[in-house]
Amino acid sequence: MRSLTGVLVFGLLAAGCAGPVARIDAEIARTGYTKELRLGMRYRHVVLDNGVRDPAQPLAVYLEGDGSPYRGRYLVTSEPTSRRPLMLELMRSESAPAVYVGRPCYLGLATDSPCTPRDWTTGRFAEEIVASMCAVIERLALERGDVPVALYGHSGGGALAVLIARRLERVQRVVTLAGNLDPAAWTALHRYAPLTDSLDPLAGGALPARIAQLHVAGAEDENIPPTMIASAAQQLGAANVLVLPGVTHASGWYDHWPALRAGQ
């Protein structure tokens, strides 16, 4: 995510997984979610389940942002898990069937085979990442009665939501919060290293008409500005973008979430 010169320095730091992963485990204990490891394609994924079962409702799938791929400007961290997992926080208010599907190599799995730093840096949206997440989500939906799926993603999780929606026919709704829908424009804006090993969420044009889309931007977001999200959303075939006053890239979302979740 952070390189000006085009020379990406993979100085792997011993950031230690205990901090962010321990905080997420504490959150699991508070909420009563179940935690399990699921094999996707090549990767394992941590899946948190709120335990609600209702085959009459779509399965809500929460996808986290990119977390902390780098420490400083050039050094790659050894533990990319988010220090503040926004989507896990938002899932607290969920009353429908919901799962938090961890990205490969996140949530304490950074040393898993075949994980390498590429999986949370230049290849964070790579073909094998998307395919593995699709496999996990497909199985979860089948186990719950072959139900449809709604995808909710923040930042880089928004990019993954779009990429997954293009592949899974059971996806009926995509909601992105400060979604990184145009990684090429985002890296150019911040002069970050291009995500050369990743898929482009905009490739393929508009999402299928069967998928309801809601793309939401924070008016105070300097990381992924509303204008960038609006441009990308238009290419995805979305009618408009909702811009929330007083909301930044990572803060101010919780109070708005019940209405956004309900599709209002």
Nearest to 13 by CA among 100, 74, 76: 76
Cis check for the bond before 114: say yes or no (omega within 30 of 0): yes
| Reported confidence tier of residue 10, pLDDT bands at 50, 70, 90 | very low
> pLDDT tens across 223-239, in order?
999 999 999 999 999 98
> pLDDT tens across 166-199, in order?
999 999 999 999 999 999 999 999 999 999 999 9
**Domains of the chain, earliest start first:** 18-249 (3.40.50.1820)
Alpha-carbon span 165 to 157, nearest angstrom: 12
> pLDDT tens across 36-58, in order?
999 999 999 999 999 999 999 99
